[in-house]
Amino acid sequence: MALFSKKAAPIRTEVDFSRLPRHIAVIMDGNGRWAKRRGLPRTAGPAAGAEPARTIATYCKDIGIDYLTVYAFSTENWKRPKEEVGAIMGLLKKYLLEAIGQMERDKVKMEFFGDLSPLTPELRGLCERTREISRHYDGCQVNVCLNYGGRDELLRAARAYAQDCLEGRADPNHLTAERFGGYLFSRDIPDPDLVIRPSGELRLSNFLLWQSAYAEFYFTDVLWPDFSKEELNRAIVSYQSRDRRFGGV
């Protein structure tokens, strides 16, 4: 009987490297809980999150992902206790110094999304240096979201756009989504295809609000410090099983 003879398509368990997402975005969450579960203070969390950040960036470059955007510190994370913010900033400094040391080997291009002005001059300088050194690399581009918030990004874009209108450089009658996208930190790069959030939370927490309009989501209970290449592979396999319709049929 034709009705039953059709074989169901096999469920893929391995990544199809010919159909990778072009842009993966990750909310690196769960560092505090990871530390707490080990009887450590929350301030031990950021250091534990640095290793998977490096591993995943290198892996993305090796398999040919064009863009990786990681959420490192949100506009709301300043609400945290001073010691915790200090631990995160200290870790960022260490991470960037190490990244600078390995850049020639890794050839990962680094960019930063967010308002860097409240950071210390030293940290800002390190961001600038990593951006400058890696400017010509053409492997994976890693965008580090630092003091980043989706709403803040949209407000900045709206302000800059309004200013351009006032000064005659833009005409509101000709505003398109594409033009508006040019005012965002993510200008020049495609929207994320896959947004991953570890740690069991099922929310965006102000991440890439505009850019995630048609992203596929992958949530896992794994905490960020335990996130591995295997977990990223699982996320990609899941992504590859989706039917992306973009509103069509």
Residue 211 DSSP code: T
Write each residue from 69 to 88 as x if it is in contact with ligand IPE (CB under 6 A), else as -, in one continuous string.
Answer: --xxxx--x----------x
Give min distance, CB of 23 to ligand IPE, in A.
Answer: 18
Nearer to ligand IPE among residue 205 and residue 240 (C-beta): 205
Distance separating the N- and C-terminal Cα atoms of the chain: 29
| Count of residues in the chain | 249
Q: Is 111 in the site for Mg ion (CB under 5 A)?
A: no
Give min distance, CB of 232 to ligand IPE, in A.
Answer: 16
Nearer to ligand IPE among residue 21 and residue 45 (C-beta): 45
Give min distance, CB of 35 to ligand IPE, in A.
Answer: 8
User: Exposed, middle or buried, 249 (CB in 10 Å: 0-12/13-18/19+)?
Assistant: exposed
Helical spans, DSSP H, in the chain? 2-5, 31-37, 45-63, 82-106, 121-133, 150-166, 177-181, 229-240
Edge-to-edge strand ranges of the sheet holding 141-148? 109-113, 141-148, 67-74, 23-27, 194-197, 216-219
In the numeric block, the tokens 């899941």 are attached to: 238
21, 24, 25, 29: which one contacts Mg ion (CB under 5 A)? 29
Cβ atoms 109, 133 nearer than 8 A: no
Choose the stretch contacting Mg ion; rule: CB under 5 A; options: 27-35, 36-44, 87-95, 228-236: 27-35
Choose the stretch contacting ligand IPE; rule: CB under 6 A; options: 66-74, 121-129, 135-143, 174-182: 66-74
Partner that binds at residue 73, options Mg ion, ligand IPE, none, CB closer than 5 to 8 Å by kind: ligand IPE
Give min distance, CB of 170 to ligand IPE, in A.
Answer: 32
Partner that binds at residue 31, options ligand IPE, Mg ion, none, CB closer than 5 to 8 Å by kind: ligand IPE
Pick from 220, 58, 208, 211: which is nearest to 142 by CA? 58
- 29 is a catalytic site residue: yes
Choose the stretch contacting ligand IPE; rule: CB under 6 A; options: 30-38, 102-110, 188-196, 209-217: 30-38
Partner that binds at residue 147, options Mg ion, ligand IPE, none, CB closer than 5 to 8 Å by kind: none
Choose the stretch contacting Mg ion; rule: CB under 5 A; options: 24-32, 42-50, 85-93, 160-168: 24-32
- 206 is a catalytic site residue: no
Return the beta strands (E) in the chain as ranges: 23-27, 67-74, 109-113, 141-148, 194-197, 216-219
In angstroms, the CA 142 to CA 67 distance is 6
Torsion angle in degrees (nearest 10) through CA of 159, 163, 169, 172: 60
Give min distance, CB of 80 to Mg ion, in A.
Answer: 10
Active site residues: 29, 77
